[in-house]
Amino acid sequence: MATSLARISKRSITSAVSSNLIRRYFAAEAVAVATTETPKPKSQVTPSPDRVKWDYRGQRQIIPLGQWLPKVAVDAYVAPNVVLAGQVTVWDGSSVWNGAVLRGDLNKITVGFCSNVQERCVVHAAWSSPTGLPAQTLIDRYVTVGAYSLLRSCTIEPECIIGQHSILMEGSLVETRSILEAGSVLPPGRRIPSGELWGGNPARFIRTLTNEETLEIPKLAVAINHLSGDYFSEFLPYSTIYLEVEKFKKSLGIAI
């Protein structure tokens, strides 16, 4: 019995030693292969010349609110860092410049034909106007709104100029072919009659505009519209189909 136990223990010791030797052998082989094997060359990807480098800034230009989605005409220029929210309509030939915010969450905002809202303007509207006048903000055609202006539930009739840093409060009305000087404040319910120049804080009548001055008002709006066309062509469309169009034109010998 003792002899058989000794044989079994001897066999187990021998098998354990042999298995350790086998493990060491394969480990040494693996190290040798790893050190002698030449590394595979890394494949270099050459970017296509047609590849578009998009710049994602997390800025949302169009913000729908419930059932209301801002509407922008095809030929209207809206700068990339403009914010349009809710019930906002930007009509043909108009332009909204850098940094402006048009917040139509409570009521409608309309930018009429060939009008422009310049840099850093804030346009919004209230639920209702305390004056009983319409609470929506209406900027009619051929209107120029200067930079850094604040418009709230006001109405601007066709062919007017609002100077920069001006404030138009609830229910205020600027009748056609009028000018409000820069830095002016138009109190709630105040009306600027047609063909007059107003200014100050609060805004007061200064003088009647000449016929030449009233004719220059729509010309300014048209000039800014032409200027916005140069900016409009600088921004790429949302898709990359224009790349295929350019290739097709080149194949036909058409100048781009």
In a domain, 31, yes or no: no
Averaged confidence pLDDT in the chain: 82
In a domain, 14, yes or no: no
Angstrom distance (rounded) from CA 220 to CA 197: 16
Kindly tell me if the per-residue pLDDT of 28 is higher than 90.
no
Q: Which residue has the tokens 């009305």?
A: 173
Kindly tell me if the per-residue pLDDT of 144 is higher than 90.
yes
In a domain, 44, yes or no: no
Q: Is 60 annotated as a binding residue?
A: no
Q: Contact at 8 Å (CB) between 162 and 143?
A: yes
In a domain, 170, yes or no: yes
Kindly tell me if the per-residue pLDDT of 187 is higher than 50.
yes
CATH number, residue 82? 2.160.10.10
Kindly tell me if the per-residue pLDDT of 9 is higher than 60.
no
Q: Is 226 annotated as a binding residue?
A: no
Q: Is 103 annotated as a binding residue?
A: yes
DSSP notation for 177-194: S-EE-TT-EE-TT-EE-T
In a domain, 49, yes or no: no
Q: Which residue has the tokens 């086998």?
A: 22
pLDDT value, residue 7: 52
Q: How many helices (H) and strands (E) does the chain have?
A: 3, 20
Kindly tell me if the per-residue pLDDT of 208 is higher than 50.
yes
Q: Is 105 annotated as a binding residue?
A: yes
Q: Is 177 annotated as a binding residue?
A: no
Q: Contact at 8 Å (CB) between 156 and 138?
A: yes
In a domain, 150, yes or no: yes
Angstrom distance (rounded) from CA 43 to CA 36: 21
In a domain, 254, yes or no: no
Confidence band (pLDDT; 50, 70, 90) for 155?
very high
* Mean pLDDT to the nearest integer, 141-169: 96
Kindly tell me if the per-residue pLDDT of 2 is higher than 50.
no
Q: Is 104 annotated as a binding residue?
A: yes
* Of the candidates 84, 90, 134, the residue with the CA atom closest to the CA atom of residue 112: 90
Q: Is 212 annotated as a binding residue?
A: no
- Taking the complete model, does pTM exceed 0.85, yes or no? no
The rounded percent of the chain whose pLDDT value lies above 70 is 73
Q: Contact at 8 Å (CB) between 113 and 141?
A: yes
Number of domains observed in the structure of the chain:
1
In a domain, 45, yes or no: no
Contacting residues for 158 by C-beta, under 8 A, at least 6 apart:
112, 140, 141, 142, 143, 176, 177
Supply the range of the domain harboring residue 209: 62-234
Instruction: For residue 190, give both structure tokens.
Output: 């105040």
Angstrom distance (rounded) from CA 96 to CA 79: 6
Q: Is 159 annotated as a binding residue?
A: no
Q: Is 61 annotated as a binding residue?
A: no
The dihedral through the CA atoms of 154, 210, 220, 121 has a sign that is negative
